[in-house]
Amino acid sequence: MAASSSVITFGCLLALGHILAPTEANVHPVLTHKNASSLLGQLVTSSTLVWESYDPKDATQLSFAVEGGKYITEDEHYPIYVCRVTIDGVHTSGHTEKILQRHRCVAAHYKHGKYDNFDVLMNKGHLGKVGWKHWRKFDAGVPVGAIRIGDDSFIGRHRATHQPNSEGIATHWGADFNLGRLDPLGLGKIMVIENDREKYYDDGEVLIETEPFRYELRDIKLDRIRTDLRQNLTELATGKLENLGDKYSTVETVMTYSFDYIQYWGSHDGVARGLPTKIFEKDIIIPAEINWALKTSEKRFENKAVQTKLWPGTAINVTLRGTYVTLEAPYTAKLFAFYYGSDESVSRKISADVRKSYLKEVKLEFSPVYWIENGTLVPTTTTTTTTSTSTTTHATTTSTNEPTPINEPPLVHVKHMGEKHSGPDSLEKTLHDSPGSNEVNSHEAPENMSSNPGKDVALAGFGVNAAGSIATAGSACMTLLLTLFLSL
pLDDT tens for 215-273 read: 999 999 999 899 999 999 999 999 999 999 999 999 999 999 999 999 999 998 878 88
SS3 assignment, position 425? coil
Mean pLDDT of 69-85: 86
CA distance 461 to 457: 7
Q: Name the residue among 273, 292, 269 with its Cα closest to residue 442.
A: 269
* Phi, psi for 89 (deg, rounded to 5): 80, 5
Task: Please enumerate in sequence order all residues whose Cβ is within 8 A of that of 88, keeping only pairs 6 or more positions apart, or say none.
Answer: none
Q: Quickly state the pLDDT bin for 73 (edges 50, 70, 90).
A: confident
Question: What was the pLDDT predicted at 218?
Answer: 94
**393 compared with 304, residue with greater pLDDT:** 304
pLDDT of residue 398: 43
pLDDT of residue 211: 80
- Categorize the per-residue pLDDT at 362 as very low, low, confident or very high, splitting at 50, 70 and 90: very high
Q: What are the pLDDT digits (tens) for 276-322?
A: 999 999 888 899 999 999 999 999 999 999 999 999 999 999 999 99
CB 377 within 8 A of CB 368: yes
- Give residue 145's pLDDT: 86
Q: Helices 2-20 and 466-487 sit at what angle, rounded to 10 degrees?
A: 170
Average pLDDT, the chain: 77
Which one is predicted more confidently, 283 or 24? 283
Say which DSSP state 9 is in.
H
- Residue 165: what pLDDT? 56
For residue range 436-481, what is the model confidence (pLDDT) as tens digits? 655 444 445 555 544 343 333 222 222 233 333 333 344 444 444 4
| One-character DSSP codes across 219-288 | EEEE-GGG-EEEEEEEEEEEEEEE--SSS-EEEEEEEEEEEEEEEE----TT--TT-EEEE--TT-SSPE
- What is d(CA 371, CA 269) in angstroms, rounded to the nearest whole number? 65
Closest CA to 424 of 217, 223, 231, 225: 231
185 DSSP assignment = S
CA quadruple 55, 175, 121, 91: dihedral sign: positive
Q: What is the pLDDT of residue 100?
A: 80
pLDDT tens, position by position, 3-17: 444 434 444 433 434
> Quick one: which of 395, 410, 450, 444 has its CA closest to 60?
444
Q: Which CATH class is domain 214-433?
A: mainly beta
Buried b (16+ CB within 10 A) or exposed e, 268-284: bebbbeebebbbbbeee
The pLDDT score that the predictor gives to residue 134 is: 92
Domain boundaries, the chain: 2-210, 214-433
Summarize pLDDT for 184-214 with one digit per residue, the tens. Answer: 888 888 999 888 888 999 999 999 888 888 9
Length of the chain counted residue by residue: 488
Is residue 127 within 8 A of residue 271, CB to CB? The reply is yes
Higher pLDDT, 312 or 380: 312
* pLDDT band for position 111 (cuts 50, 70, 90): confident
